Structure 1
Amino acid sequence: MATEEAGEAGKAGKTGAKGRPASKPRGRPRSFDRETALEKAILAFWERGYEATSVSDLTRVMDIGAPSLYAAFGDKQSLFEEVVREYGVRYGSFTERALAEEPTARAAVARILREAAVEYTDPAHPHGCLVVHAATNCSTPEVEESLRVRRNASIAAIRSRIEADIATGMLPPHADAAVLARHAGAMIQGMSQQARDGASREELEALAEIAMANWPRT
């Protein structure tokens, strides 16, 4: 009797209730935390750049196999695109915040440069800015272009803020918004490179003060 019941139970497991075929077991859940793995990818690309970071490097630092990487993030370029977006949220949003929160373009740019000095030298992560450096010597035009677009968008946002202050009289009418925005962009990018070359937070903050001394006043 027990043997018959076991046999029937086995059949039920195969066919399910009322003779319907049992549903296929679901695939195994991923054995890693996606957000943690993405953070590790951010740090890898930030430290080494796109070209020098191989898939093998990524699987090692993310502690996942290549099939899991491809299943969760797509190929290397797709992963990098997500990394850049997430970097902007986690580490690179200080420019947008300053432009939105400060009462004048001058105050916003001064804050951006001060916060860049802090962010670019933070010992908790690689120095400098991923968007500035990750496509250095890159042989993938799409990656190079995507970062160029982001850098130029930041300069355009600064220029728009300056133009608004010129229109309202917060800056003199002869102020050149394009030049001031490019100057701010050059400072941000130059501070990033100097941070990677070993400049300290205090040294970059001093550069920021000198940069703002050249701004026109009403």
Structure 2
Amino acid sequence: MARTREFDTEAAVSRAMELFWTRGYEATSLRDLTRRLGIGQGSLYAAFGDKDGLYRAALEHYRTTLAATALRDLAEGADARSAIRAMLVERIRIAVGNGGQGCLAVNAACERLPEDPSIRRVVRDMQDASQEALAEVLRAAAERGEVAARHDPGTLAAFLVTFLNGLLVSSKITPDARALEPLVEVALTALD
């Protein structure tokens, strides 16, 4: 008879996400994980397969929580420019938190690619979801005359995601929201 899992898997993934986000994949050992999660190695392997499986679960948790919240807030924003500004500024503030931890997805791309195709898929899915959400907001805004229609909404959305990725890398170098937030205004001129 199989033993029942004696820990909260979702809470463990959330704690692992925080640890990976702060320290990175390579700098986080199995010992760090078992200590932080309060479980033994056997339980970690039984639940997640290995460190890679736990890392993928942590990225998925990030996607379904923080990243999903950002996309929902974007879709619910009043006008496109304000919603996009708010989303970009909020991502900066999260990234500079805890001494410049950056963005977990961007960190994963910088640390694990191109060698890890499974991480590439997870990060690409997050990036694609962001681009699609932004493109939809921009299409609707162009129809209402809120933003210039001179750029294809999909291309403009790809630009904004690329800008955000670069900004999130920069947040690790300069973890100062006041220094980074003015760059958002420059990027928003692409909407004119």
C-alpha separation in 1, matches of 2:109 and 2:129 = 17
- Supply the RMSD in Å over aligned alpha carbons: 2.6
Partner of 1:88: 63
Q: Give the drift of 1:173.
A: 3.2
C-alpha separation in 1, matches of 2:168 and 2:127 = 13
Aligned residues: 190
Q: TM-score when scaled to structure 2?
A: 0.82
Q: Give the drift of 1:67.
A: 0.6
Amino acid at match of 1:159: A
2:19 aligned residue (36, 41, 44): 44
C-alpha separation in 2, matches of 1:193 and 1:72 = 32
Amino acid at match of 1:130: L
Q: Give the drift of 1:210.
A: 2.4
Q: Deviations over 1:64-107 (max 9, x none)?
A: 21111122333333322321122134433342123221133222
Whether the 8 Å contact between 1:105 and 1:158 is mirrored in structure 2 is no
Asked if 1:68 is matched to 2:60, the reply is no
Q: Give the drift of 1:113.
A: 1.0
C-alpha separation in 2, matches of 1:29 and 1:51 = 27
Whether the 8 Å contact between 1:49 and 1:135 is mirrored in structure 2 is no
Q: Give the drift of 1:120.
A: 0.9
1:166 aligned residue (142, 156, 165): 142
Whether the 8 Å contact between 1:48 and 1:134 is mirrored in structure 2 is no
For structure 2, the 5+ residue unaligned runs are none
Query: SS at 2:12's partner residue?
Result: helix
C-alpha separation in 2, matches of 1:173 and 1:207 = 22
Q: Give the drift of 1:29.
A: 6.0
Identity between Structure 1 and Structure 2 (%): 33
Asked if 1:211 is matched to 2:187, the reply is yes
1:141 aligned residue (75, 96, 117): 117
C-alpha separation in 1, matches of 2:94 and 2:109 = 20
Q: Aligned in 2, Cα 1:105/1:71: closer, same or farther, shift over 3 Å?
A: same
Which of structures 1 and 2 has the bigger CA Rg? 1
1:118 aligned residue (82, 89, 93): 93
Whether the 8 Å contact between 2:19 and 2:28 is mirrored in structure 1 is yes
C-alpha separation in 2, matches of 1:133 and 1:111 = 22
Amino acid at match of 1:151: Q
Q: Give the drift of 1:137.
A: 4.3
Whether the 8 Å contact between 1:50 and 1:135 is mirrored in structure 2 is no
Asked if 1:157 is matched to 2:133, the reply is yes
C-alpha separation in 2, matches of 1:78 and 1:203 = 36
Whether the 8 Å contact between 2:96 and 2:102 is mirrored in structure 1 is yes
Q: Aligned in 2, Cα 1:208/1:172: closer, same or farther, shift over 3 Å?
A: closer
Greater helix percent: which structure?
Answer: 2
Whether the 8 Å contact between 1:132 and 1:151 is mirrored in structure 2 is no
Whether the 8 Å contact between 1:128 and 1:191 is mirrored in structure 2 is no
C-alpha separation in 2, matches of 1:29 and 1:116 = 35
For structure 1, the 5+ residue unaligned runs are 1-23
List, as ranges, runs of 4+ consecutive aligned residues in structure 1 with deviation greater than 6 Å.
Answer: none
Q: TM-score when scaled to structure 1?
A: 0.74
C-alpha separation in 2, matches of 1:43 and 1:131 = 12
